[in-house]
Amino acid sequence: MSRPSLRAAALAAVLGALATGAGPAAAGPAKPPEPAAAGAGQAAMARTPVGEATLLVTFADRPGRAAAGRRLAGLGAAAPVLPEAGVWRLVPLRPAAARERTLRRPAVVSAEWSLARRADDRPPPPAPPSAPPAFTDGFLLSGAQWGLQPRSNWGAELTTTGPRPPIAILDSGVDPTHEEWGGPGSPLIAGRSTLRGDADASDHGLSGHGTHVAGIAAAPANGVGVVGTAPAAAGAAPVIPVQIADRAGSSTDETMIRGIRHAVLNGARVINISAGGPGYSRAFQDTILWATRRGALVVASVGNQGQDVNALNYPAAYRRVLGVGAQCDGVVTFDCLRAFGAATFSNRNRSVDVIAPGVGILSSVPRRVGERAVAPGYALKDGTSMAAPYVAGVAALVMGANRNALSPYQVAKQILNTATDTGRRGRDDASGHGIVNPRAAVTLRAPADDASEVNDDVKWLRGVTRLHSRNRPVSILATIDQQEDADDVYAVRLRKGERLRVLLRPTSGMLDLYLWGPGTRTVTTGDANMRRNLLRYRRGTRGPGAIAHRATRAGTHYVNVFARRGGGPYTLRMVRGG
């Protein structure tokens, strides 16, 4: 949860106030900055269009309606977007000065324009590289879905290991009249449009993008058409359709955030978003943390600019999101220089966690869609949009195979740990950890959980760590990662005059250690926050590090472990003395 680097004068002032136990003054306690939110200035707004003249305001806490109204009074019309995470909507009276005025209000940590996002499917190729799949008596031949063939390590038996949880598809909607999705046995539940604020989540998209994505993840095994990676079934394996995009496939941060909220509150444990765009948003990152805390894993496409700008696309690039790139089929083309390798159009950057089938993907579409149709209601599409729902389906199967008892952390780690390495050895920016391996992910034992999560900042903490008296230490074993989980925060209560000693032992990576005082609202390293609240700091080393402090006032203090480089398991020992 870092912030832009400190000015030299402010940094010197803070370091000068720190007592023995702080790290080297030259290094400084500032954390590397988060990507700047697009829309923060005119240049950024030119690169990433604002979805609408709406600010997303994120508070350091979770105020109720009355408190949020008082804090934003006089700025414009305010309404909750995700109040459970302290995210509110503000339609400013004076847009030109809105951000600066809002950031001066109490407990506001960010004010960002709601940015525009786009679906991540590819334009159709000028001519198909091979003949389209054939039909027999209205049924697709089994070989048409290459991602479900033995080479891809998927098998029908993987879908019978246990009832899987609901999958939410945030997209253009799902066609409820389609033979895969309609009728009395429809697996669709809790539909919602966050564009209009009603319950109609039918697919109004020009290309049928949402219905296609839903089919890849979860088309029912009903004897017609296609089959999803984790087939839907009424009452046992439902799909929650959430319409976040307009007919052309455009959405905004606000419609996505509202969609995530609706999905989570209606029981979704896996949320697929096959869309994105450049521009970081604190409001959206906090939404991901909230969803993770509620037990939902967000899976997102990384984008199709691998032959162009290759920029980080959000939400795939947010922490705790499983970012998916596109894998080629067996046909070598300009987009696929190596059969079954990473597609050249698939983005190559740190957001790529795994790759999955994303070229020549057959799935359901509304019957009105004719683009690359192989039969009424079924069409081919390419893109990371098609790869993400494949992985979303695998994630749901992993949960079902483990009695739906795994955390999002465990499911994501299981998918990464069992991926089939390809390309350069180890993780790389083209294929991430490798090609998703459904069989290994579903059948192998899942990793242990990181029980302290989500604890990325003060407002996410559930309680305090109870310390023993008389120098009896408390030990915490946890995991941290520079990319996916850079901050861990623990609350401890001290009486005035009590002494606290903290020892951090990392197994790998370079981890910083911070101690923040009573009244701290966030562990972001902004100038004023550090001058006011930072008590002790120890710069990361590859070995153990310690800080000690005698409380000058009673209250809750916050121990913060930060992954400056790398990460992995660590042990945190805290002891309170007289």
SS3 state at 262: helix
pLDDT value at position 469? 77
Q: Which residues contact 222 (CB under 8 A, 6 or more apart)?
A: 179, 180, 185
CA distances from 66 to 55, 62, 80, 346, 486 (A): 19, 12, 11, 46, 33
pLDDT value at position 129? 52
> How would residue 144 be classed by pLDDT, with cut points 50, 70 and 90?
confident
SS3 state at 57: strand
> How would residue 127 be classed by pLDDT, with cut points 50, 70 and 90?
low
The arithmetic mean of pLDDT across residues 531-538, rounded, is 96
Looking at per-residue pLDDT, the higher value among 384 and 426 belongs to 384
User: Tokens 């940590």 label which residue?
Assistant: 109
Options 2.60.120.380, 2.40.160.20, 2.40.50.140, 1.10.357.10; CATH of 8-31+451-577: 2.60.120.380
**41: burial class by Cβ within 10 Å (0-12, 13-18, 19+)?**
exposed
Q: Which residues contact 487 (CB under 8 A, 6 or more apart)?
A: 1, 456, 457, 480, 523, 560, 561, 562, 563
Whether residue 101 has pLDDT greater than 60: yes
DSSP state of 345: T
The arithmetic mean of pLDDT across residues 269-277, rounded, is 97
pLDDT value at position 48? 55
Whole-number average pLDDT of the chain: 90
CATH of domain 119-124+139-443: 3.40.50.200
Looking at the annotation, which residues are catalytic? Answer: 171, 209, 385
SS3 state at 124: coil
Of the candidates 491, 489, 515, 508, which has an alpha carbon nearest to the alpha carbon of residue 564?
A: 508
CA distances from 338 to 152, 331, 332, 571 (A): 16, 8, 6, 44
3-state secondary structure 475-511: EEEEEEECCCECEEEEEEEECCCCEEEEEEEECCCEE
Give the C-alpha separation, 187 to 199, whole Å: 16
Most distant CA pair in the chain: distance in Å?
A: 82
Q: Which residues contact 94 (CB under 8 A, 6 or more apart)?
A: 76, 101
Give the C-alpha separation, 251 to 433, whole Å: 29
Q: Degrees (nearest 5) of the Cα angle 398, 222, 212? A: 70
Of the candidates 243, 290, 233, 295, which has an alpha carbon nearest to the alpha carbon of residue 269?
A: 295
Contact criterion met (CB below 8 Å) for 412 and 298 = no
Can you give the pTM of this predicted structure?
0.92
